[in-house]
Amino acid sequence: MNLSFSSVTAKPCSTRKPCCSSRRCGVIRSEVNVAPKQRRGGVLSKQVVPLSDIHVQEVVHRQSQIMSPCSKPKPQFEPNFLSDAYEMCGNICAEYAKTFYLGTLLMTEERQKAIWAIYVWCRRTDDLVDGPNAEYMSSAVLDGWEDRLHDIFNGQPYDMLDAALTDTVSKFSLDIEPFRDMIQGMRMDTMKSRYNSFQELYLYCYYVAGTVGLMTVPIMGIAQESVIPVQSVYDAALYLGIGNQLTNILRDVGEDALRGRVYLPQDELAQFGLRDKDVFSRKVSERWRKFMKYQITRARFYFNRAEDGVSQLEKASRWPVWSSLILYRKILDAIEDNDYDNLTKRAYVGRTKKLLTLPLAYTRSLYSNPKTKFRPSLTRLI
């Protein structure tokens, strides 16, 4: 049984210009880091596989360029209009994602508002396929949403919430590609309900969550004292998104099954002697527990890989990111506490545990130092 883990880092093929924005202009080679088998320590080995849809390298390139004053249209809005628009975004974020919202309160006002605007756009995008109007979903709806995204980036927002994002993209060096990729993830979601391998699932996770990492790095800001390459910070942001999404998937296996969806690699299910019918039967067997242990270890692998990137962010941005990392990790602990029953139970981190996370994350953010990879032993307690 092959129990290796992979994380995928995009490398441009030599024939491809890094600034090329066309989705279909060439093949990207991707490097897959294969983590050690369970119970065996050791150095990660690497494999090269074709994976043409992950746009990290080009996004890093474009987002790292200093914005010239005329590079993005500067829309003219009434001052009150924009402050009302951001306030609406803040209220939505506070309502639907309290932890993200709390985390933004330490940031500068400009960054805080930018995260709210991005959050709201992501929430609305996800709601197209997951929300109350999901029954009206079609590829035409997603095409229309993508046109609207281009309007946002061209300074012609459709409504107030879009206007907040238009303002945000005019202030920060944000590339449109991760936003388009998230829409691509929603397309994928409408087209398939099974993933043959972890490679396929990874691509989905990149689309719907890794992209959030790429969108938010320019807002969070990289510390001036950072000593690691910018690309590594983006990789860490991507891994945090992947870890979060894998965790969401593991938490929601039972709920997704009720909708006829299985976001688990089919080949790995088979390796553990499991099939779709075992997911739908809602019975937790010993095989299922073993399979879940494996999936949880992989999600943790991504969180661990994200850690070093958090310390490279600007100080005020580290706290919210640590909070999100620690909290999502705790969902994995909760699945274990439920004896791996994610078929009939939804793993939950209680209010008190959540609140206790905030000072822990705060301490962590004070002690993480961008100049070293030093990890205070506190990590191990969390």
Residue 246 interacts with ligand LST6JFWI (CB under 6 A): yes or no? no
Distance from chain centroid for Cα 296:
17
Residue 122 interacts with ligand LST6JFWI (CB under 6 A): yes or no? yes
- Which of 72/318 has CB closer to ligand LST6JFWI? 318
Stretch that binds ligand LST6JFWI, among 52-60, 112-120, 142-150, 369-377 (CB under 6 A): 112-120
Residue 115 interacts with ligand LST6JFWI (CB under 6 A): yes or no? yes
DSSP string of 148-191? HHHHHHTT--SSHHHHHHHHHHHHS---SHHHHHHHHHHHHHHH
Of the candidates 128, 149, 203, 306, which one interacts with ligand LST6JFWI according to CB under 6 A? 306
Residue 351: other Cβ atoms inside 10 A: 9
29's enclosing H/E stretch is strand 29-35
Residue 194 dihedral angles phi and psi, to the nearest 5°: -135, 150
Q: Interaction with ligand LST6JFWI in 218-237: which residues (CB under 6 A)?
A: 220, 233, 236-237
- Which of 86/272 has CB closer to ligand LST6JFWI? 86
Give the binding-site size for ligand LST6JFWI (rule: CB under 6 A). 33
State the SS3 of 330-362: HHHHHHHHCCCCCCCCCCCCCHHHHHHHHHHHH
- Residue 152 near residue 85 (C-beta atoms within 8 A): no
Stretch that binds ligand LST6JFWI, among 13-21, 59-67, 205-213, 371-379 (CB under 6 A): 205-213
Closest to 322 (Cα-Cα) out of 102, 116, 149: 102
- Residue 177 near residue 150 (C-beta atoms within 8 A): no
Residue 90 interacts with ligand LST6JFWI (CB under 6 A): yes or no? no
Q: Which residue has the tokens 């969180």?
A: 303
- Residue 139 near residue 190 (C-beta atoms within 8 A): yes
Amino acid at 166: T
Of the candidates 12, 157, 221, 241, which one interacts with ligand LST6JFWI according to CB under 6 A? 241
- Which of 90/278 has CB closer to ligand LST6JFWI? 90
Residue 324 interacts with ligand LST6JFWI (CB under 6 A): yes or no? yes
CB of 96 to ligand LST6JFWI, least distance (A): 7
Residues forming contacts to ligand LST6JFWI in the complex (CB under 6 A) are 97, 100, 103-104, 115, 118-119, 122-123, 126, 130, 208-209, 212-213, 216-217, 220, 233, 236-237, 240-241, 244-245, 248, 306, 309-310, 313, 320-321, 324
